[in-house]
Amino acid sequence: MPPLLLSDDVEASIDGSFSWVQDESGTLRHVSGTKLSEDTGITVEDVTYQLKPSDISLTDESLGAGACGQVKKGVIVATGQPIAVKDIKIDDSAKKKMLLAELKNLVAAERCPHLVTWFGGFVTRSIVHIVLELMDLGSLRSLSKRATRLGDPCIPHPHLARISLSSTSGLNFLHHMHIVHRDVKPENILHNSVGEVKITDFGISRSLDATMAMAGTQIGTQVYMAPEMCLGSDYNFAVDLWSYGLVLYELATGVFPLDGSTIPELFMAIMEKPEPRLSPEYPSDLRDFVAQCLTRDALQRRDSDYLLTFPFVTENVESEEVFAQYLATLS
């Protein structure tokens, strides 16, 4: 097995040992206990998730790219289960760190119906293949594009409520697990033909401890970045709600609410222009929900626990079956 451990993986721990080591069998081990092996698959938190290349049949259809890897469509041969396979070439320290975060959070996601989960994975040479459930209609970006092609880029209010209940529930689960996603955007919220909506791409997520520790790394997609992240200030789970507020505004209107053809102009809009607000023509419960998300002061921004009590996602929210019927009209 070619070495997975590269020269830039000199990540010494306090006791002077390396974060990653590779044993004689070729298994790559991290100090956290995560193991990557061509023979035994992927081990996270003492649980081994093993699939072999022969278990998977890949198609030529590309599903795009995530934060650190390409994604292709396939099936599990034994069951015919449709899947998405993300290939991550772990050829530098940054990608290894993102992989660690993603694996840990995929294990956590198994317990939440609003997060994309996984079936396991396998390793070939220096590539880790993560086998994920397939969300057959793609991202909310593709939903918006389909609606636009049919003449109305604005997703109707009842469907926005269904999307928001699922999305906010997924974020709420992550936040209670002390995980901040840090890259909430339309491309990272997926949906399928049975009306399910799920958050994905945990590669740049970061764990915060139970005391509400603050992160300080500026990372994520810049147009959806919260004000405190733009400043390089400490931040917490509230950044995910700002980002989702922008996603929801965009789905409701068909227009991204912040102007800026350059990064400085965009940051100026995020930091100094009036906070985006939906006009009175939109239902008040939707307007209130968006306003609570798009509050510049992070200390005043509502958290996911509070947002899940809002009438917008508690009263008369349509079922996944009804949402699926709407989605069928866009095909």
pLDDT digits (tens, 9 = 90+) for 228-284: 988 887 778 999 999 999 999 999 999 999 987 788 888 889 989 999 999 999 999
For residues 308-331, give the mean pLDDT: 96
Total domains, the chain: 2
> Is residue 105 over pLDDT 90?
no
The per-residue pLDDT for 2 is: 45
| Residue 204: pLDDT over 70 | no
116-125 average pLDDT score: 86
- The percent of residues above 70 in pLDDT, for the chain, comes to 87
Position 214 in a domain: yes
Listed residues 133, 159, 178: the one ending a domain? 133
183 and 279, same domain (yes or no) = yes
Higher pLDDT, 267 or 68: 267
pLDDT at 31 over 70: yes
Residue 5 maps to a domain: no
Residues 307 and 186 in one domain: yes
Same domain, 185 and 46: no
Note whether 162 and 110 are same-domain residues: no
Output the pLDDT for position 66: 55
Whether 221 maps to a domain, the answer reads yes
Distance CA 300, CA 52 (A): 49
The residue out of 133, 159, 193 marking a domain boundary is 133
User: Residue 73 is part of a domain; what is its CATH number?
Assistant: 3.30.200.20
Catalytic choice (183, 209, 285, 305): 183
* 183 has catalytic annotation: yes
Q: According to the model, what pLDDT value does residue 295 have?
A: 97
The 3-state secondary structure of 227-290, one letter per residue: HHHHCCCCECCHHHHHHHHHHHHHHHHCCCCCCCCCHHHHHHHHHCCCCCCCCCCCCHHHHHHH
Q: Which residue has the higher pLDDT, 86 or 304?
A: 304
- Full domain range(s) for residue 172: 140-329
- What would the mean pLDDT of 45-57 be, rounded to a whole number? 86
For residue 84, the model assigns a pLDDT of 93
> Could you tell me if residue 40 is inside a domain?
yes
Q: What is the pLDDT of residue 211?
A: 42
In a domain, 115, yes or no: yes
Q: In whole angstroms, how far apart are CA 327 and each of 4, 245, 246? A: 43, 22, 22
Burial class of residue 240, CB neighbours in 10 A (0-12, 13-18, 19+): buried
| Domain end call among 84, 111, 133 | 133
Answer yes or no: do 51 and 166 share one domain: no
Q: Are residues 24 and 68 in the same domain?
A: yes
Q: Looking at the DSSP assignment, which residues form a beta bridge with residue 20?
A: 30
- 278 and 153 in one domain? yes
CB proximity list for 260: less than 8 A, separation 6 or greater:
266, 267, 268, 269
Are the C-beta atoms of 248 and 289 separated by less than 8 Å? yes
pLDDT of 65 reads: 67
230 within a domain of the structure (yes/no)? yes
pLDDT confidence of residue 10? 37
Highest mean pLDDT among 14-23, 221-230, 300-309: 300-309
Identify whether residues 120 and 182 lie together within a single domain. Answer: no
Q: Which residue has the higher pLDDT, 16 or 131?
A: 131
Q: Let me know if residue 6 belongs to a domain.
A: no
User: Does residue 39 or residue 65 have the better pLDDT?
Assistant: 39
Q: What pLDDT does 298 receive?
A: 94
Answer yes or no: do 123 and 147 share one domain: no
Q: Are 181 and 234 part of one and the same domain?
A: yes
For residue 2, being part of any structural domain is answered with no
The pLDDT confidence band at residue 207, using thresholds 50, 70 and 90, is low
pLDDT value, residue 134? 95
83/201 same-domain check: no
Q: What is the pLDDT of residue 29?
A: 84
Q: State residue 304's pLDDT score.
A: 97
For helices 157-176 and 93-109, angle between their N-to-C axes, nearest 10 degrees: 110
**Domain holding 278: CATH number?**
1.10.510.10
> Between residues 168 and 25, which one has the greater pLDDT?
168
232 & 253 share domain: yes
pLDDT number for residue 18: 62
